[in-house]
């Protein structure tokens, strides 16, 4: 029988199972505390008897994220991690130091199916969903490594969170639990490329997290060229779902817009975007596109970014240009795993020669 992923279980679920297995009632909370402090084995649960630890190890596993590589920016305090999961897969996370505390950007899948043309993650293919425990493990490993509390989480690393909806929702419940990392929903952002049916489902949950939507284009013609998901749900359908999200949660949506020179950064694009966003509680985040090898895309110039921002502002749409952190360590996600895969492939092909 395969062992069960205990860190993906809620406290009530562990309580119930421990009761059924005849363990004392207080053991559940004791074990839960250990798990959420980030122990990597039952042996580290030092106040449990050896026999009990052994029983646990026979029935359950603990999902870990072991640091395979760590890159520290010399320009700011950004740290990028490449983590190895129990089955040998790799995911990336980035820790950023803001005035309001440490923020970690975590991955929700190994790879991604969405294939946005500007994104490095899609280029390395899709392998599998992450379990809730593996999302937690990224935060725990980073926090133990830096020795400072991580207070904010963004689900903006590798993968599409709403394509792994059930696990992501369970993760949100675990990470915000008082007995766990206790990171409140207002300190969590979830970024989606626009899986419309799941935006409706999430809206109905009425969580107080921040929803970021990767829009990146003002119309279907441009968006379908860069984001295949747009063939399934077009811009209007997406924005309608966003307005529903506004209504259900009372929360503003943060629209991500990667500025790609000559593709989506013209004055006409800015005006069209402003028109489209009228009536949506929104904030636009403009990000100079990160050049990914093989994409052929170039960053918009600073002047373009300023002009674009001004046009939006004149139409009453607030927009900010996102500060780039960790640019010397290639901090945007997807690039490290890809490079690592290429290196491993190189080594393997050397061995075959």
Looking at 62-70, 187-195, 265-273, 343-351, which segment touches ligand SAH (CB under 6 A)? Answer: 187-195
Q: Which of 92, 134, 160, 256 is catalytic?
A: 92
Q: How many CA atoms lie within 13 A of 165 on its CB side?
A: 13
CA 190 remoteness from chain centre: 7
193 belongs to the catalytic site: no
Closest distance of CB 109 from ligand SAH, Å: 9
Tell me the site size for ligand SAH, rule CB under 6 A: 17
The residue among 133 and 290 lying less far from ligand SAH, judged by its C-beta, is 290
The H-assigned helical ranges of 26-117 are 27-37, 50-59
**Which residues, at least 6 apart from 194, have a Cβ–Cβ distance to it below 8 Å?**
213, 214, 215, 227, 229, 230, 233, 238, 241
Which of 73, 167, 214, 226: binder of ligand SAH (CB under 6 A)?
214
Q: Is 95 in the site for ligand SAH (CB under 6 A)?
A: no
The residue among 133 and 335 lying less far from ligand SAH, judged by its C-beta, is 335
Binding-site string for ligand SAH from residue 257 to residue 276, where x marks contact by CB under 6 A and - marks none: -x------------------
Cβ atoms of residues 84 and 68 within 8 Å: yes
Q: Is 196 in the site for ligand SAH (CB under 6 A)?
A: no
Among candidates 85, 76, 207, which has minimal Cα distance to 137?
85
Cβ atoms of residues 142 and 81 within 8 Å: yes
Looking at 77-85, 115-123, 127-135, 137-145, which segment touches ligand SAH (CB under 6 A)? Answer: 115-123
Binding-site string for ligand SAH from residue 156 to residue 185, where x marks contact by CB under 6 A and - marks none: x---x-------------------------
Among candidates 257, 271, 198, which has minimal Cα distance to 227?
257
Binding-site string for ligand SAH from residue 294 to residue 333, where x marks contact by CB under 6 A and - marks none: --------------------------------------x-
Among candidates 294, 296, 303, 195, which has minimal Cα distance to 286?
303
272 belongs to the catalytic site: no
Cβ atoms of residues 286 and 326 within 8 Å: no
Over the Cα atoms of the chain, what is R_g? 21
CA 270 remoteness from chain centre: 27
Which of 292, 311, 325, 336: binder of ligand SAH (CB under 6 A)?
292
Token pair for 53: 């630890």
Q: Is 290 in the site for ligand SAH (CB under 6 A)?
A: yes
Which of 65, 94, 119, 286: binder of ligand SAH (CB under 6 A)?
119
CA 59 remoteness from chain centre: 30
Q: Is 133 in the site for ligand SAH (CB under 6 A)?
A: no
Closest distance of CB 3 from ligand SAH, Å: 30
Looking at 132-140, 177-185, 189-197, 218-226, which segment touches ligand SAH (CB under 6 A)? Answer: 189-197
Among candidates 57, 46, 162, 174, which has minimal Cα distance to 108?
162
Where along the sequence are the contacts to ligand SAH (CB under 6 A)?
114, 116, 118-119, 156, 160, 191-193, 214, 256, 258, 287, 289-290, 292, 332
């Amino acid at each position: 029988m395969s062992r069960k992923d205990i860190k993906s279980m809620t406290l009530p679920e562990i309580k119930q199972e421990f009761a059924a297995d005849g363990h004392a009632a207080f053991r559940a909370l004791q074990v839960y505390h250990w798990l959420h402090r980030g122990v990597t084995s039952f042996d580290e649960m030092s106040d449990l008897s050896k026999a009990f630890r052994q029983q646990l190890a026979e029935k359950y596993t603990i999902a870990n994220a072991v640091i395979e590589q760590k890159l520290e920016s010399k320009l700011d305090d950004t740290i990028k991690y490449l983590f190895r999961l129990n089955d040998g897969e790799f995911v990336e996370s980035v820790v950023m130091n803001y005035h309001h505390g440490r923020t970690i950007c975590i991955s929700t899948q190994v790879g991604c199916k969405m294939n946005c043309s500007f994104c490095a993650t899609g280029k390395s293919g899709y392998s599998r969903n992450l379990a809730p425990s593996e999302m937690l493990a990224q935060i725990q490993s980073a926090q133990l490594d830096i020795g400072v509390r991580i207070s904010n989480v963004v689900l903006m690393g590798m993968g599409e969170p709403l394509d792994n909806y059930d696990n992501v929702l369970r993760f949100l419940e675990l990470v915000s639990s008082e007995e766990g990392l206790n990171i409140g929903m207002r300190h969590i952002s979830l970024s989606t490329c626009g899986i419309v049916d799941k935006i409706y489902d999430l809206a109905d949950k009425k969580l107080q997290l921040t929803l970021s939507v990767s829009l990146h284009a003002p119309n279907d013609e441009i968006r379908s060229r860069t984001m295949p998901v747009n063939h399934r749900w077009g811009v209007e359908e997406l924005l309608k779902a966003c307005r529903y999200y506004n209504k259900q949660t009372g929360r503003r949506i943060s629209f991500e817009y990667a500025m790609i020179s000559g593709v989506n950064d013209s004055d006409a694009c800015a005006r069209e975007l402003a028109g489209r966003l009228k009536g949506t509680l929104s904030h636009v985040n403009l990000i100079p596109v990160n050049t990914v090898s093989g994409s052929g895309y170039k960053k918009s110039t600073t002047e373009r970014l300023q002009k674009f921002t001004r046009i939006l502002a004149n139409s009453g749409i607030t927009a900010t240009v996102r500060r780039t952190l960790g640019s010397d360590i290639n901090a945007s996600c997807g690039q490290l795993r890809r490079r690592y895969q290429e290196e491993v492939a190189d080594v393997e092909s050397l061995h075959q020669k």
